[in-house]
């Protein structure tokens, strides 16, 4: 089991690193080369973080609808509430993913990742009310309880 936990930790860290790269890419990468069509045609599933409505549209359509504060517009309600989907680790339902924190001015990347992991640890599933991220890197408490067989 120890090995499994290590792998999970590695997977979550990779996710965080990848997310950071995407974030930094978005921040500094505007005005770069034109993206190929297959990227724009890629279907993206988003969930409304107020109504829980799930909508699948190509990236191009989402971008045409427009976004605000990292949220895309819901074509049915006209509100900016569409966020990436995640699967709750407790109930297995599709739910809005935890919002990615903004990098604060002067904040180190390690500090930023720590803050992000903390927000994941505190994130409760809107459908079942339990922790949506059931596998996370070690924290000071709660995680890594002794195995109960």
Give the torsion sign (CA, 107, 121, 136, 16).
negative
Distance of CA 40 to CAs 18, 25, 62, Å? 20, 17, 9
Q: Which residues pair with 131 in a beta bridge?
A: 124
C-beta closer to Zn ion: residue 13 or 128 = 128
Instruction: Name the DSSP class of 138.
Output: -
Site string for Zn ion, 100-139 (x = CB under 5 A): -------------------------x-xx-----------
Tell which one of 20, 44, 90, 121 touches Zn ion (CB under 5 A). 90
User: Count residues contacting Zn ion (CB under 5 A)?
Assistant: 6
Helix (H) or strand (E) holding 64: helix 59-65
Closest distance to Zn ion from the beta carbon of 49 (Å): 14
Token duo for residue 93: 């339902």
Within residues 38-57, the interface with Zn ion by CB under 5 A covers none
Q: Which parts of this chain interact with Zn ion (CB under 5 A)?
A: 88, 90-91, 125, 127-128
């Amino acid at each position: 089991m120890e090995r499994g936990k290590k792998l999970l930790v590695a997977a979550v860290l990779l996710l965080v690193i990848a997310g950071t790269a995407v974030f930094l890419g978005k921040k500094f990468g505007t005005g770069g080369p034109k993206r190929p069509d297959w990227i724009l045609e890629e279907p993206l599933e988003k969930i409304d973080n107020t109504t829980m409505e799930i909508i699948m549209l190509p990236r191009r359509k989402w971008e045409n609808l427009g976004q605000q504060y990292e949220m895309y517009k819901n074509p049915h309600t006209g509100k900016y509430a569409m966020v990436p989907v995640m699967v709750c680790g407790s109930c297995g339902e599709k739910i809005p993913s935890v919002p990615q924190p903004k990098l604060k001015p002067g904040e180190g990347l390690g500090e930023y990742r720590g803050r992000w992991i903390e927000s994941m640890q505190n994130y409760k599933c809107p459908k079942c009310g339990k922790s949506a991220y059931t596998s996370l890197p070690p924290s000071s408490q709660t995680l890594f309880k002794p195995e109960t067989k």
